[in-house]
Amino acid sequence: MSSVRSRTLTDRSVSNAEGWLVLGFSMAASFTAIIWSWNHAAMLNYGDAVAHLHIARRVFDSRTARFSELGSVWLPLPHILLIPFVQNYAWWANGLAGVVPSASAYIASCTGIYRLARHWLNPAPSALALVFFALNPNLLYLQTTAMTEPLFLCETIWIVVWMVEWRAALNDEVEAASYRLPSHPSPPPAAPGFNALRGWRPLRIFAAGPHHRGAWLQNPELPSRPRKNGFAMPSSRLQVCVAAVLIAAIFTRYDGWIIAFIAWTGVGLALLKRGRLRRSPYFWLASAAVVAAPLLWFAYNSAGFGDWLYFARGPYSAKAIEMRTATSGAWPPHPGWHNPWVALLFYLKVSELDSVLAPVWSSLWGNLVLALAALGSVAAWFAEKAASHRRALAWVLLLWLPVPFYTWSVAYGSVPIFFPAWWPFTFYNTRYGLELLPALALGVGFAAHFVAGALERWQGPRIAQLLPDIAFALFFVFAGINVAGLLRQEPIVYAESISNLDARLPYDQAIPPLLDDLLSTFPHGTVLMNTSTYPEIVAFTGIPLRQTINESDLALWRAALEAPGSHAAIVVAFDGDEVDRAVKAHPEGLTVEGRFTAENQPSATVYSSTAVFHRAPHAKPDAPDFDLGPSGSDTGAPRRF
């Protein structure tokens, strides 16, 4: 970018006023979504959100508290972040505990996407990227839950932000060391390039005021000679920041492992090319930490579950879930199975459905936005003239990594994606398309920049001078229409969560009252049940997890399955699970208190122990049999505490 000083990637610093506006806008959007989600009792719609809260709670609320309570398949950081908040029983039971980490990650993501855009763009296209990202209804809903997507999006965005800034700082330091530039070099002559339109200020309401170098994109004064303390160098500090977020991503989602490998390999190669690899102690220390992160996860699985790949081949692994959720009697097990082309189409389509209005009459709008974002990113690459700046811009391509990653995952990684428009015409994992949202948002900002730039260069009639502002106004109008349309047709991620809730709601509403009644005569009675299927039943009953014997108790769990009636006061069994098989094998001392059936769900049976309740060991003639009807036929909401 030739019209900018050689020591900076861009002169478009974020002013303090911009920073506060972005922060206020993001917080207002987040708070509005939280209020809506609370009023609609939607924080616990997803079974996975309930399970994340459950895992975090059992770390300290269990009979056998130990480090392996963090689980085996899901990576641990989201659960660790939830621990301070699930200690409040009511927050755990009503889902509020998941809001603080997710909403904080969402706000940080919004500030990050704007900061990233402002490295190259004026305030108007940067604001467009922010609006496209921050007002996405699917993301706004997820940031009110304990789902991991908001946290991982935050990590991905900040990895890219700090990689771009690290590369720019490294270029600055190399040039300063080679040419011994003065602390405040004069800008070189302007030449045509990506930022040739710097004098143009689109939409005055978005024009940044005086730039303050103490703001977000502060570019520290370059030293005239290398300093003795290497950590005082901006590139060293940014390098450590990158490593820290990479480690966080590794412990959040498995696609973070791929990002970490690509990003840290790029850091090493850049240092090697500049002859700084061997004399960069902070790089080697950070490298040890980055490499140790996945190794620690292998060791954890080996120590806790006896198999270092338990997360990949255990009963709760993606492979096992794929087999359980495969469409009955159909082959292949799911669309895209061992077919990368179909897998690619499914992922691109679900990404469009997550981010772009899908009119019933055409899919053209979604395809147009996807193409516009991709072309905008490609145009930004080719418009950049300086090789060093183009390398910095290359790290933005990490935002497009979900495309090849999920193409491979759907085809070969046992990660099906379903949506109602295509076979099998249902919902599953639709939220994965949101991982492409940062790339789409930034790409739309780039595209708007180039469209306005082309109009600015057009030497037409006098009214042509207004065309860039008109173009930006239209872009914002279309962004608003897109948000309104997504809300009107019901955001697909929220629609999936409703479907998910409907499957669990009959038992969530029917079983806890019976448990309450039984526990009223024996308040501290132990409950034997598999909590991985319906963990919210424990919370809705109002008892602590340590009052249950569940699958995470290992040796105690196995002993209880050998004699359910003598180990627990109450036994909750779901047809076909381990407790059900144990009761059928060892029915001694158990009395049926109630049976529950719901469409497309395993039947549930609640037993009481005759040793505790002093009842005859047989089914009571008046034991209620509850037929709860089709899943979701009762529209009531889960109870709150």
- Residue-wise pLDDT tens digits, 203-251: 333 333 443 433 334 444 444 444 445 666 888 899 999 999 999 999 9
| Residue 393 maps to a domain | yes
The interaxial angle of helices 437-457 and 364-383, nearest 10 deg, is 70
| Residue 460 maps to a domain | yes
Enter the tokens of residue 518: 């039984």
Last residue of a domain, one of 434, 460, 488: 488
Last residue of a domain, one of 435, 465, 488: 488
Same domain, 259 and 352: yes
Whether the CB-CB separation of 352 and 358 falls below 8 Å is answered with yes
Same domain, 329 and 446: yes
Residue 64 has pLDDT above 50, yes or no: yes
| Residue 104 maps to a domain | yes
| Residue 195 maps to a domain | no
Residue 196 has pLDDT above 60, yes or no: no
Quick one: pLDDT band at residue 533, thresholds 50, 70, 90?
confident
Residue 318 has pLDDT above 90, yes or no: no
Same domain, 483 and 509: no
Residue 292 has pLDDT above 80, yes or no: yes
Quick one: pLDDT band at residue 172, thresholds 50, 70, 90?
confident
| Residue 66 maps to a domain | no
Residue 563 has pLDDT above 60, yes or no: yes
Q: What is the 3-state secondary structure (H, E, C) of 183-206?
A: CCCCCCCCCCCCCCCCCCCCCHHH
Question: Using CA atoms, how far apart are residues 176 and 39, in angstroms rounded to an integer?
Answer: 57
State residue 10's pLDDT score.
46
Annotate 139-156 with b (16+ C-beta within 10 A) or e (fewer). bbbbbbbbbbbbbbbbbb
Q: Taking Cα atoms as reference points, which of 85, 106, 97, 103 lies closest to residue 144?
A: 103
Whether the CB-CB separation of 269 and 287 falls below 8 Å is answered with no
State residue 203's pLDDT score.
35
Same domain, 432 and 308: yes
Question: Using CA atoms, how far apart are residues 302 and 54, in angstroms rounded to an integer?
Answer: 22
Question: Using CA atoms, how far apart are residues 453 and 467, in angstroms rounded to an integer?
Answer: 10
Same domain, 326 and 374: yes
- Mean pLDDT, range 164-187, rounded to an integer: 70
Looking at the structure of the chain, the number of domains it has is 2
Q: Taking Cα atoms as reference points, which of 170, 129, 125 lies closest to residue 271?
A: 170
- Domain residues for the domain of 295 are 16-43+95-180+234-488
pTM of model > 0.85: yes
Which secondary structure element, helix H or strand E, spans residue 176, and what is its range?
helix 149-179
| Residue 11 maps to a domain | no
Enter the tokens of residue 558: 């196995």
- Mean pLDDT, range 386-393, rounded to an integer: 79
Question: Using CA atoms, how far apart are residues 174 and 37, in angstroms rounded to an integer?
Answer: 50
pLDDT in tens, 377-388: 999 988 887 777
pLDDT in tens, 29-40: 999 999 999 999
Indicate the DSSP class of residue 399. Answer: G
Same domain, 479 and 566: no
Residue 456 has pLDDT above 50, yes or no: yes
Residue 476 has pLDDT above 70, yes or no: yes
State residue 205's pLDDT score.
32
Residue 66 exposure: Cα atoms within 13 Å on the Cβ side: 11
Same domain, 388 and 533: no
| Residue 564 maps to a domain | yes
Question: Using CA atoms, how far apart are residues 569 and 285, in angstroms rounded to an integer?
Answer: 53
- Mean pLDDT, range 443-447, rounded to an integer: 96
Q: What is the mean pLDDT of the chain?
A: 85
Quick one: pLDDT band at residue 190, thresholds 50, 70, 90?
very low
| Residue 197 maps to a domain | no
Residue 578 has pLDDT above 80, yes or no: yes
SS3 34: helix
pLDDT in tens, 431-442: 999 999 999 999
Residue 27 has pLDDT above 60, yes or no: yes
Same domain, 320 and 425: yes
Same domain, 166 and 256: yes
What separation in angstroms does the CA of 611 have from each of 411, 589, 591, 607? 52, 7, 10, 12
Question: Using CA atoms, how far apart are residues 149 and 76, in angstroms rounded to an integer?
Answer: 14
Same domain, 298 and 366: yes
Task: Tell me the β-bridge partners of 606.
Answer: 572, 594
> Lowest mean pLDDT: which of 15-19, 44-48, 110-114, 246-250?
15-19
Highest-pLDDT range among 257-261, 375-379, 563-567: 257-261
pLDDT in tens, 534-562: 989 999 999 999 999 998 888 899 999 99
Last residue of a domain, one of 473, 488, 503: 488
Same domain, 499 and 416: no
Whether the CB-CB separation of 79 and 56 falls below 8 Å is answered with yes
Same domain, 457 and 579: no
Enter the tokens of residue 338: 């061992």
> Lowest mean pLDDT: which of 465-469, 529-533, 592-596?
465-469
Task: Tell me the β-bridge partners of 594.
Answer: 606
